[in-house]
Amino acid sequence: MNMFGFEKRFGLRLGSRLGRVILTCLLLLGCSSSPTESSQETKGDEGSDVASEQDDADSVSSGQVIDEGDEGSDVASAQNDSDSARPDEVTVSQPLIIEVFAADDVENSVAQAILESLNLAANMWGLYWPVEYWVMGLDPEAGEALVDKFCSRRDARGEWNYADCMRREAGSEQHSLIEYQQLGAQAVAENRPFGTAGHNGGFDWGIHRFATTLPWGLAGRFGTPGAEDVKTVLHEYWHAVQHSFISTLDYDKRDSAMGPVWFTEGSAEFMAQYGAAQLANQGLMPKVPKGDWPFSYEEQMANKLHNIDNEFSNGCAGRNLSSITEYSDPCSGVGYELGAWAIAHLLSETGPDVLLEDFHPIVEKVGWEEAFETVFGRTVAELDEEIKRFWELPRSEKLALLPQP
């Protein structure tokens, strides 16, 4: 295992506050990884088929460690108070650190770009719980070694028995860690750049656990822009933000607080697009392969308008936000695209900080529906009517309404 390290300092926002943070990034080449705990999936855990491009090889681990003098977020500090911790609530693991683990066949540049993207996301939106991001490559043996590392880590921490972990994560269950390697290899075999990334739980361990197929853009494959993969990382990280404001370990209560699919995925997708545009405007976008076509905020959001029209023409005609609540819905893909535009519409009135500063801090206490109506001043049914009128506008007028980073 080759190792090298470097240090960076970032100001990371914890909760809705900015805290001073010492960010130590230790990149471990050739380390392998492993997935999360249970087979139970949660909202935001389906992966963004919207964003998933990953490829190339090696492994990396890096960390962001909160300075002991920092207050941290209200969420994190409350959850870490041992006197107030309850067995039915998340106990946030310490230290607050971001780690990226990649299979041995994933190039170090891929893992570094993911790590940098996660750091930038935490700088924009806050670091609440530790993050583990597991990156699969294409080689089956390297993938199995990463699963072994993941399960050894879980077992060593007393979180999951090694044999049970390997049985699930190296097995045939959906969202198993090895499935990400298999899907990537299948994509290459079929010469089709499909892939997936997902927030796969970790709540029982007090962490956010992610897994991904090889990001094609970062790996320089299929002509995919690397910026698309950066956006995917931001999309997945927004799911960490959403979950961080929910303390319960009860699956149904957490699922309810996350809200319907159109909101869960639509807000993750829009905030990722908006965040990527912010990074580009500020000259902070990681240096990644450009790919064969341009990647821009306006073009990405315009593509969504086209995708929505296609969905409406192919079996999802007449669907609205109110009707897109579950991932099992054949039209749930509309929730990503139409949901992103619905969030853009809402935030054009309130500003982009309303989700972090007003909505998520109250959602677990009052419930998703009441939080939505309180913060946005309308019901979802009323929003549906607004979106119906919005959809009748010319394309140019729709794009003119986009919140500008």
CA–CA separation, 89 vs 71, rounded Å?
A: 21
- Report cis status (omega within 30 of 0) of the bond before 330: no
Burial 131-163 (b: 16+ CB within 10 A, else e): bbbbbbbbbeebbbbbbbbbbebbbeeebbeee
Q: Can you read off the two tokens belonging to residue 281? A: 């405007």
Evaluated on CA atoms 336, 338, 339, 344, the torsion sign reads: positive
Q: Can you read off the two tokens belonging to residue 130? A: 């530790």
Evaluated on CA atoms 355, 356, 358, 359, the torsion sign reads: positive
CA–CA separation, 382 vs 334, rounded Å?
A: 19
Report the phi/psi class of residue 13: left, alpha or beta, with left for phi > 0 and alpha for psi in -120 to 50. Answer: beta
Residues in Cβ contact with 230 at an 8 Å cutoff, skipping those fewer than 6 apart: 113, 117, 276, 279, 285, 286, 288
Question: Which secondary structure element, helix H or strand E, spans residue 277, and what is its range?
Answer: helix 261-281
* pTM score of the predicted model: 0.82
Q: Which residue has the higher pLDDT, 30 or 110?
A: 110
Q: What is the DSSP letter of 205?
A: G
The identity of residue 46, as a single letter, is E
Residues in Cβ contact with 271 at an 8 Å cutoff, skipping those fewer than 6 apart: 125, 234, 235, 238, 343, 352, 355
Does residue 7 carry a pLDDT above 50? no
Q: Are strands 3-14 and 17-28 parallel, antiparallel or unpaired?
A: antiparallel
pLDDT of the residue at 399: 96
Average pLDDT for 353-371: 98
Of 117, 112, 3, 4, the C-alpha closest to 51 is 117
The identity of residue 214, as a single letter, is L
Helices (H), 33-132: 74-80, 108-125
Q: Count other Cβ atoms within 10 Å, centred on residue 110.
A: 29
What digits encode the pLDDT tens for the residues 268-321? 999 999 999 999 999 999 999 999 999 999 999 999 999 999 999 999 999 999
State whether residue 147 is helix, strand or coil: helix
Q: Can you read off the two tokens belonging to residue 160? A: 């999951």
Indicate the average pLDDT of the chain: 84
- Sorting pLDDT into bands at 50, 70 and 90, what band is 87? confident
